[in-house]
Amino acid sequence: MSVVQPFPRPHSGRTLRVVEEFDRDVYWCHMHANLARSPGRACFTLPLIDDILSYQRHLGERMRQRDRDSVAHVVLTSDTDVFNLGGDLELFSRLIREREREGLLDYARQCVRGVHAFHAGLGAGVHSIALIQGSALGGGFEAALSCHTIIAEQGAMLGLPEVLFDLFPGMGAYSFLCKRVSPRVAEKLMLDGEMYSAEQLHAIGVIDAVVPRGEGRQAVEDVVRANRRTPRALAAMHQVRELAQGVNLEEMMRITEIWVDTALRLGDKSLRTMDRLVRAQSRRTGIEAA
């Protein structure tokens, strides 16, 4: 049985479409659900972050109360033809110009709480899956990296473009990448500003699987089916991973403070570059809507 749920209800513009398959313990979180009705940028706006955090809390509490042997799965994906274009650069630019350190830090901390929750299985042993069907940039890439399994369709492009405006991805990229590749490779991905194909990242171990276009959902089903064969072993492995490879939330919070303080030192040239990227994202959305 599948049930579509809007979360959270207080927002007038729903940004997250949730499909709950209770019988299979699979929970689909579709970002950017609001863009079909009102075109905007497919990035981490404050309403989207609030929706994700709210649903994470809601689902985590339910999972901790249940008494079942199976492992639940939460899938992070998108209702648009991009996964996520990253942080809200328009908001960043305004807060930096206004020297609003607390506002920028609060945004960053909320993002960190969200990605860490996916990494930590919502504190309830949930297996998180990122299904990438289109571009995943900056914070969008970081969100995918926070998940236990990353599946991308052919043609998806991923990258960390923050260096283009003299910043670095500070909401989990380094911590999560270093669990998949060497620190040297992680730093290269973070500082070269390049876009990479899903195939390139799969070859070096950043992405778990690349499948033909249109077959991403089936690939998710295959992961769920495989995990269901050995639920106790998988649950135990989640505990082992958390002990041996877990990313500390305090570490991530400290890194994001470095990100905020670096952002506040950006000059006019960097901010103008940020503004150009905002306009490029808006033009892309307009083309998609047309």
pLDDT at 249 over 80: yes
Q: Which residues pair with 245 in a beta bridge?
A: none
Residue 66 pLDDT? 81
Q: Does any domain span residue 209?
A: yes
pLDDT at 267 over 90: yes
Instruction: Name the CA dihedral angle for 67, 68, 71, 74, rounded to a multiple of 10 degrees.
Output: -60
ω before 39 within 30° of 0 (cis)? Answer: no
Q: Does any domain span residue 147?
A: yes
pLDDT at 264 over 70: yes
Q: Does any domain span residue 224?
A: no
Q: Does any domain span residue 60?
A: yes
Residue 284 pLDDT? 61
Q: Does any domain span residue 110?
A: yes
**Structural domain for 30, as ranges:** 2-217+230-289
Residue 286 pLDDT? 45
Neighbouring C-beta atoms of residue 99, cutoff 10 Å: 9
Question: How close are the terminal C-alpha atoms of the chain, in Å?
Answer: 35
CA 269 to chain centre: 28
Overall number of domains in the chain: 1
pTM equals: 0.93
Q: What CATH number has the domain bearing residue 195?
A: 3.90.226.10
